[in-house]
A and B are shown apart, each in its own frame.
Chain A
Amino acid sequence: EDKVVQSPLSLVVHEGDTVTLNCSYEVTNFRSLLWYKQEKKAPTFLFMLTSSGIEKKSGRLSSILDKKELFSILNITATQTGDSAVYLCAVQYEKLTFGTGTRLTIIP
């Protein structure tokens, strides 16, 4: 059965800390892995990863994919209160399957 698992489910850290969010998957005919940030409404796109070992970076956020071990991580450095959100990982094959999400709370 295809599945996407994120960990941890919830994370609370202080502003300025660095966090690492995990996403592991088991799907057939993998095409890409995507990270989204969801605040109050629909998710917003962060990264799309298709190749192993190539880090994608955007400001304080970065992500990398390991297609051999079937996982991806999302790193956020020097966290800010505006980073508080649910971070969703989704794997694209014939369709798109989402993980359960990691709820990140940044304490000032």
Chain B
Amino acid sequence: GAVVSQHPSWVICKSGTSVKIECRSLDFQATTMFWYRQFPKQSLMLMATSNEGSKATYEQGVEKDKFLINHASLTLSTLTVTSAHPEDSSFYICSAMRFGLAGGQRGETQYFGPGTRLLVL
């Protein structure tokens, strides 16, 4: 099946520093990738849609200057949390959209990365 990786898996940083998270589709090309964040015991919240070669589309309430997204190639999207603060501590998950067969039907399917846990001290 399709594989999406994220790096790093875990990151602990001091308040005020910037953190970059990478999302890679390992065996397929993804023109569209999504970034989510998830707080404990809550559902995934879409932060932004990342399109290769163009600017990301941010959801309402997500600061684009705070969460910089770059989708420089068909297999890589990065999320940079700038000047991170403790309230940015969360579980960040990316997904990549692949068109093909899934569950016996043709369509677009989201394949998720394993997530990156960020703790800002």
Q: Which residues of A contact B (CB under 8 A)?
A: 31-32, 34, 36, 41-45, 47-51, 56, 88, 90, 92, 95-101, 103
Contact = CB atoms under 8 A, between A and B. Distances in A.
Interface residues of B, number: 23
Interface SS of chain A = strand
Contacts of A34: 109-110
A100 B104 CA distance: 26
A42 B108 contact: no
Interface in B89-106: 93, 95, 102-105
Contacts of B110: 34, 45, 90, 92, 96
A10 B46 CA distance: 22
A50 B32 CA distance: 20
Interface stretch (B12-20, B63-71, B75-83, B112-120): B112-120
Contacts of B44: 43, 88, 98
A95 B49 contact: yes
B34 A98 contact: no
